Each structure stands twice: as C-alpha cells, then as structure tokens.
Structure 1
Amino acid sequence: FLVDSVAKGIKDYIPKYQEHLKEMKETGNTIIGYCRKSKTIEDEETRVRLLQKMIKRMRARSLVDKTFVSPCSAAGEEFSLRDFPIHNKFDMSSLQDISGTTQDMISFLAVTPNVSLVVLDYAGLTTNIKDLKQFIM
C-alpha cells in the first residue's frame, strides 16, 4: 500500500506543479528558470549538451517564460560576480532557448515585478546563504 501511495504521489506531482505555475502566470507572474553548471573539466561540447538538457527540462517541466544560464560558476560564487565576459570564455550562442546569463537575469529582475524563480535544485542556485539573502532583498 505504501509503495502504491508513493508512486501515485510521484505521478501526480508534475501535473499539480504545472497547474500551480499556470495559475501563477494567470495572476501576472513571470516564471523564470535558472540553470547553473559548475566549473569542471569536461570539454565544451559536453558542457553545452548538459546545459541544454537542463534548459529543456526547465522549459518542459516548469513552463518557464525565460531561462537564464550560468555556464561555468561555483555554487558558492556571489551572483554579482558570475558570468562577466572578461571571466567567462563560454560561447553562449551555442545554447538554444536562453534569455541570457546571471548578469542578464539580475538586470531583468531589477525592472520586472512579480517574478518567480525556478531552479532544478538548491545548489543549482547557490550554496552561499549570505549572498542568497542579499540577492532576494
């Protein structure tokens, strides 16, 4: 019985989540997604493939209106320091269906009311609690 209950909960979760997102959109919220990839040693082709999977999943499951990407940053790195062109050698034009980098997201949030931010997991956004508090204030 417990297994059936858990399986039903998992099966029903995505449709309920998406219905909630649709209701938020109907009340004037913009849903934005944020995908972050850590600094690792894989080649650029692999990085693009992995980021593109995250972007696709974000758009399909979370029905985001815009998706912002940090292609190569540490989870603890401050938002204000992420993705500056001088530090970021990644070719953003190799990604599809994105609205920009962390810096573009910061600019968007500064001028757009009623925004809800979706991330794939907690560390996908940040592990720097102090910076997160400063970011949302």
Structure 2
Amino acid sequence: MSDAQAIEKQNPGLDTKHDSAGAKHPATGGSGNPQTGEPFEIAKPDAHQRLDGKDERSHPNALEDAKRVEKLEKEAEKEHEDALRHPTQAAKAHGNKPSAGAVKDEKILDDEEEELRKKDEAKKQSAEAHKPKHH
C-alpha cells in the first residue's frame, strides 16, 4: 500500500483533487510535508529575508509579516521598559533572589516616583492657591 493510499484510508472524506489548493506531492496525494503529511503553515524562521527584493512573497503576505514583526517589536519594547522599571523582576521570574544592586535600584526608582508624585500635587495646590479670585 502506498503512502497516498494510506492517507486516503485514514481520511475517507478527503477529496485530494478539490480540498486543497496548491501543489500536490505525488507520493502523498496532498500538499504539505511529504515525510509527516502535516500541512505547511508557516515558513521556518529566517526562511525569508524580510528586505530581499527578489523574495516572491505576495504583497498581502509581506504586509502580514510586517504587522507580525511590528507586534513582536512592540512586545519586546514593553518588556524592556518593564525590566527597566522593575530591576528585580527578571531574577524573580527565574526563581532567583534579586541582587542587592537591583533591590537598591528599585528602591531608588520607587522613591523618585513618590517624590515626583508629591511635587505634582504641590504644583496643583499652588496653581489652585494662585488662581485669581472673582469678586
């Protein structure tokens, strides 16, 4: 029994002529990986060079990739900002005790944040006190 017959036997409702678009592998009768029979979903990492002018990806695929990369960049930027704001978080996330320096840095950041909050409150109070009074 050939691989194509085995696949057809495992999937009795499979219509290899009409169910999927694209090239069909002669041994399996379907598209996808001929060794596993699994459909190809996403190219391997670095299979496409994003700035390659000769890349034959369609425009919608290139746009989708650009959106995916933009999303990943935003996530990485957010993680970086969080790491800067919470120096002890990385060690805690890995189940380690934060270093003394990271603990001090976090305390300094907390103190600075509290001081800025107090200054903002004082500015608001000062602005309120110096408002012209209407008679």
Q: Same fold (TM over 0.5)?
A: no
The structure with the larger Rg is 2
What TM-score results when the alignment is normalised by the length of structure 1? 0.20
TM-score, normalised on structure 2? 0.20
> Which structure shows the higher strand fraction?
1
